Structures are given as structure tokens and as C-alpha cells.
Amino acid sequence: DAGITQSPRHKVTETGTPVTLRCHQTENHRYMYWYRQDPGHGLRLIHYSYGVKDTDKGEVSDGYSVSRSKTEDFLLTLESATSSQTSVYFCAISPHRRTYEQYFGPGTRLTVT
């Protein structure tokens, strides 16, 4: 199994509070991705990173920001959580964006009340 961990695994927070989710990898892969998974939708890309300090937006980036100051860590921040951000969040990594599979972390279940 690829060495990917996510923390926390579960979180309940109140509307309006800031939340940071962490993705940590031990594979030294260049590419990292944050997705959210909601019923009736496929996994949707929030943000991704193609190197330290290099990030770009996905299709559902509004309300989210990311940072990557080290190869191994990719942080997803909800500046002011809303109920619509209740979801399961998955981090994924890939050694090469086009020719390799993506390896997924275990997921973080976030509930915003």
C-alpha cells in the first residue's frame, strides 16, 4: 500500500469555523490531489499540487485553499466551514500525472453542523 495518511479521520465542526485537513505521504511522489466525495456525485477535484509551492484549482475549489510547503504534506483548509462542505475528503498521490495510477488515502469524514 502506498504510504498515505490523512488526519483527522473524522471531524465535526460548526459553521463558520476554520478547518485544516492534512495529507501526508512517505512515497516522495510529486503530484498530490484533494477530492471530495458526495452521494450522487463522482469524486470531484478540489485542488491539486505538482510540486512544493505549486498548486492549482480543480472543479470545486470555491471555499477551499491549499498549501504545500514540503513534498510530503498537502494541507486543505476550509477558511469558514459551511454545511455544504460536509463530505468525505480524499487525498491522492501520483508519481507522474499522466502515465501512472493515483493512490488514495483513507479519507476524512467532515461534518459541518
Q: Contact positions toward another protein, by CB under 8 A?
A: 31, 33, 40-45, 48, 50, 58-59, 88, 90, 97-104, 106-107, 109
Among residues 48 and 74, whose Cβ is nearest to another protein? Answer: 48
We find the least distance from the C-beta atom of residue 72 to another protein, in angstroms, to be 19
Among residues 64 and 90, whose Cβ is nearest to another protein? Answer: 90
Helix (H), strand (E), coil (C) string for the chain: CCCEEEECCEEEECCCCCEEEEEEECCCCCEEEEEEECCCCCCEEEEEEEECCEEEECCCCCCEEEEEEECCEEEEEECCCCHHHCEEEEEEEECCCCCCCCEECCCEEEEEC
